[in-house]
Structure formats: structure tokens, C-alpha cells
Structure 1
Amino acid sequence: MNFEPQIPEWGLDDFKNHQDKLFEYHEWLKNTAIKTGLISKKTDQFIWDEFIIHSLYFAKLIKKFKNLSECEIIDLGTGAGIPGIPISIVNKTNVSLVDNKQKRIYELERLVKILNLNNAKPIKKDAKTILKEAKNSIIVMRCYVSTSNILKTLEKKQLKDNNLTIFVSSNSQSSEIFNSMFHVKQEKFLINKNNFRYIDVITDM
């Protein structure tokens, strides 16, 4: 299968300005990340579409929330730096790459140095602790956690007044989720010529 690095129209500007580092990260994912077990074996095309392009749409959404431009960005359950590394490449805001596995943090620390990303910081910490402590923050998750489960966690921990905005990948298009404390909006976007993906945006009411 030939690798064709397609760029949807919505991502052209970020790609043109940062293509060298994005391609370098792609190389790291298909070599080091697979070799060290941070991601399972994937095709070059899958890595580009599902990890690089998908992550760039998180960055695009963050830029839409201009009132949040000064907030810390937290990539919760980052794994191989997805979506946090592409976000930090195209966005000057500080990005915390949070994972509870020391092996992943070690590899991410090496990656951050390779890419010379001064705004990306790998942190070993538990996701529940981060959610409890985070305030005035943007949280991104590409791990396809159920939006309904996230809302239950937010309500249980009484995080309504923490000024959090959460972007989480969704498996498919869903009907609007009604919640008395938080608002959920789903964003639909192309990752290549033919395939759409979805990100749910959770904000305080």
C-alpha cells in the first residue's frame, strides 16, 4: 500500500507551516513507537490519517476557542503523544502529555527533545487525579472514551466550576447529548478525501 499524505482543506495552513516536524513525528510513530510498543503495528497511511490528521483537528478546535488560548492544554492518556504532539507542533500553548506508564513518559521525553518542542511536557500521573486538579484547562483525549462516562465523572467530582473544556474523540455520529450541567457539541471533519471522524466538545453550561 502506497503512502499518500493527504491534507484536508481545513488543515492546509498548519501543514504548510509545520510539515517538517509533522513528517518527523510520523517517522517516529511508524518506527520507534511501534518498536517500543507505544502503538500497535499500523500502515503508514493509517498513522498519517488517524494519528496526525485527526490530531490536527483537535488543534484547529482549540484555536476556535480564542478565549481559551491562554489555558493549559492537557493530553489525557497520551500514549504515543496523540493528539498532544501534533497540537504542540502547531500551537504555542503549553501542552502536558499525561500518562500513567513510565515507559511511555520516557519515550515521550526523548521525542520532545528530538522534535525540539519547548512547549510539550510529558507527565506521569493518573487521569482521575488530573481531572480533579485541573482548572481553566483544555483537556484532549483521542482514546474514544464514552462522552456519557466523562459527563458522569465530571458530575461525580463536581467539576462544573473548574472552567474545563474537553475535546474527546467519538466513534461515530451521535444524537445530541442532554445534560443539565454541561453542554456537548459534536464536530464532524474529514481526515482524507472520503472518511469523516467526530470529536465531542464538552463545556460548562
Structure 2
Amino acid sequence: MERERLLIKGLKELGIEPSDEIINRFDNYLFELKKWNRAYNLTALKNDEDIIIKHFFDSLLYLRVIPEGQRDICDIGSGAGFPGVPMAIVNTRLNITLIEPSRKKVAFLRHMKKALMLNNIEVLDKRIEDVRNMLFDIAVTRALFNIKDLIKKAGHILKEDGFFVLNKGPRFEDEIIGLPDNVKFEVITITLPCTSLQRYLIVLKFA
């Protein structure tokens, strides 16, 4: 499917109005990602359709569980900007901090912030364990953290009523067995746009 038509179709399936500004930003993001990927190896996905569906649309699924209004969000292990940058493109009311320890990926993220004119994102070149004196309403991640490890490594960055959102595959049930009693979770099953693939968003809150 032609790139722009695919973007419009998927955004509409997600309930997002595909404005010219949003389409242009995603188009630029795709171009820059492919360009930088040749030297920096930012993603294993190579063709436009895979990147749009499995990176862009997959990242936008997180918006389904983000409450309305202005929110302070951190993207843990942002990598090439997923899910934080697509979320910031679509919802400019979100203040998103991209936390990433790799210098090459940080360079790319800072480049994208400037290239896409995204004033609602900041880039922090640290490991999540080393982040101090910063608190967020919501922490999101696509990184391959085990749920228990994530709570241990990143629990300190959430506000008192803050929560985590993770995107997991169908074997997520193995990870929620034996969670501490004060951890409450909700699993939301969503179909990835333009596919029949199922994604499982796991919302972790603390009692």
C-alpha cells in the first residue's frame, strides 16, 4: 500500500484525524529513520510498511490508555523514539521525556526533535536507574524489560498516583504471576491497525 494512504488508513482506524501536519511529520520521521539507520542500525525493520505499522501505529496504541489533558510522560529506553515520538506528534499536549543511554540513539532523537519541531519532547541521555529528582504521571516503554525488573528499576520515577504502560506479546501472563500485592494491573487487548495482530497493553498501578 502506498505510504501516505497507509498512514491515513491506520490513523483513522486509531481514531486520529490525519491532518497534513501529522502526515508530513510521520513522512519526515520515516525518511530520517531510514537515512540514519544505514549508519546507526536503529531498527531491524527496513521497508516503509513495516516501519509505519510496527513502529508508528504500534506506538500510537499507548494513547488509548492516556487520560485526557496535559500529562508528563517518560519513555523508558526510547531507542529510535518509540513510542514517545509518535505519541508527541499526535498529541502536542503531552510533555514527553525520552530516556535513552545510547549516545548514537540520543543523537538521532535530538536530531528528530529539531527536524520535526517537537517542542513537547525532551531527550535525556541516561539509564533509567540513574534518573533522579524527576517524577512523571505515566511511564511507557517498548523495551524488553521484564515487568518485575521494570518496577524495580523505574518505580522511583512515578508520581504518587502515576502508572506504567507496557506493550507485551501474548506470553505476558508469565510475567504477571507473583507480582507484589500492591501492584494492580489491567490488560487491554488491541488489534494493530491494518493487520490482524493482537497487542496487549498492560497498565500497572500501585495501591
TM, length-normalised to structure 1: 0.82
Residue 204 of structure 1, CA deviation: 2.0
Query: CA 1:52/1:154 → structure 2, altered by over 3 Å: closer, same or farther?
Result: closer
Deviation readout 1:125-178 (Å, 9 max, x if unpaired): 111123x644342111011322233245467x6x78733211111121544655
- Indicate whether 1:184 and 2:195 are aligned: no
CA spacing shift, 1:129–1:137, aligned 2, 3 Å: farther
8 A contact 1:165–1:203 mirrored in 2: yes
Aligned to 1:163: 161
The Cα RMSD (Å) is: 2.7
Q: 1:154 to 1:121 in 2, by over 3 A?
A: closer
Q: Distance in 1 between matches of 2:107 and 2:159?
A: 34
CA gap of 1:78–1:34, structure 2 versus 1, over 3 A, is: farther
Distance 2:154 2:136 in 1: 14
Change (3 A) 1:200 1:34: farther
CA-to-partner distance for each residue in 1:58-117, whole Å, 9 max, x for gaps? 12321xx23xx3331101100101111001101122111111122211121111111111
**Aligned in 2, Cα 1:12/1:154: closer, same or farther, shift over 3 Å?**
closer
Q: Are residues 194 and 106 of structure 1, via their aligned partners in 2, closer, same or farther at CA, if it must alter by over 3 Å? A: same
Aligned partner of 2:169: which letter?
Answer: N
Q: Could you say if the C-alpha distance between residues 49 and 150 of structure 1 is closer, same or farther in structure 2, counting changes exceeding 3 Å?
A: same
CA contact (8 A) 1:73 1:140 kept: yes
1:161 and 1:95 map into 2 onto residues whose CA distance is 15
Q: Are 1:147 and 1:200, in contact at CA under 8 Å, matched by a contact in 2?
A: no
Cα distance, 1:56 vs. partner? 0.7
**CA shift digits 1:24-65 (9 cap, x unpaired):** 212222332343222234332221111000111112321xx2
Matches within 5 A, 1:2-21: 5=6, 6-7=9-10, 10-16=13-19, 18-21=22-25
Partner of 2:31: 27
Q: Which amino acid aligns with 1:90?
A: V
Q: How far does residue 10 in structure 1 lie from its aligned partner after superposition?
A: 4.3
Q: Which residue of 1 aligns with 2:122?
A: 121
Q: Which runs of 5+ in 1 are unaligned?
A: none
In the aligned structure 2, how far is the partner of 1:145 from the partner of 1:106? 23
Partner of 1:141: 141
Query: How many residue pairs were aligned?
Result: 198
Unpaired segments ≥5 residues, structure 2: none
TM-score by length of structure 2 reads: 0.81
SS at match of 2:30: helix
Conserved? CA contact 1:8–1:193, under 8 Å: no
